[in-house]
């Protein structure tokens, strides 16, 4: 069985530490943002659906916040609940690690739903773009 021996830190400047995991989030968000805009412009421009592309930029802000909140909440609830129950202020220390994929996924769904209700945009239209985008990123990573 292979066990990786990768250092989680890419660069350590003393006052600033850049980790591989944070770069995965940053590049995933940026590539997802670009792919989402491309999906909207290519697939939905010929339909009679009036959607302002600038609203997608606003959705990305909601997605980032809800991904961080959901990912951290999922980690706290599912992986180390007893520790965080006795040390509640450590929940805020996201720089010390601890994010869960499934928590982030639930956060993204809830954040997209809240955004769609607030902006009166069909929820499934936005979720279709977000998860179509997600599946394209998975396919790109698997190839």
Closest listed residue to residue 68, CA positions, set 108, 96, 23, 118: 108
pLDDT at residue 141 tops 90:
no
Residue 44 lies in a domain: yes
The confidence score (pLDDT) of residue 134 equals: 61
Residue 5 lies in a domain: no
CA-CA distance, 25 to 27, in Å (whole number)? 6
Residue 59 lies in a domain: yes
The confidence score (pLDDT) of residue 116 equals: 94
- Across the range 80-86, mean pLDDT stands at 92
Task: Give the torsion sign (CA, 7, 89, 63, 79).
Answer: positive
Comparing 71-80, 100-109, 133-142, the range with the smallest average pLDDT is 133-142
Residue 10 lies in a domain: no
Residue 14 lies in a domain: no
pTM greater than 0.85: no
Domain with 87 in it: 20-142
Residue 4 lies in a domain: no
Residue 120 lies in a domain: yes
Residue 13 lies in a domain: no
Domain count, the chain: 1
């Amino acid at each position: 069985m292979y066990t990786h021996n990768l250092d989680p830190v890419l660069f350590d400047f003393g006052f600033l530490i850049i980790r591989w995991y944070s770069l995965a989030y940053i590049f995933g968000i940026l590539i997802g943002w670009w792919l989402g805009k491309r999906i909207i412009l290519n697939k939905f421009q010929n339909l009679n659906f009036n959607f302002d592309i600038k609203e997608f930029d606003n959705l990305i802000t909601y997605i980032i916040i809800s991904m961080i909140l959901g990912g951290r909440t999922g980690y706290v609830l599912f992986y180390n609940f007893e520790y965080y129950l006795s040390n509640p202020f450590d929940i805020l220390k996201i720089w010390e690690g601890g994010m869960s994929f499934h928590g982030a996924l639930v956060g993204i769904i809830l954040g997209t739903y809240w955004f769609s209700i607030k902006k009166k945009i069909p929820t499934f239209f936005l979720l279709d773009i977000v998860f179509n985008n997600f599946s394209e990123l998975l396919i790109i990573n698997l190839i």
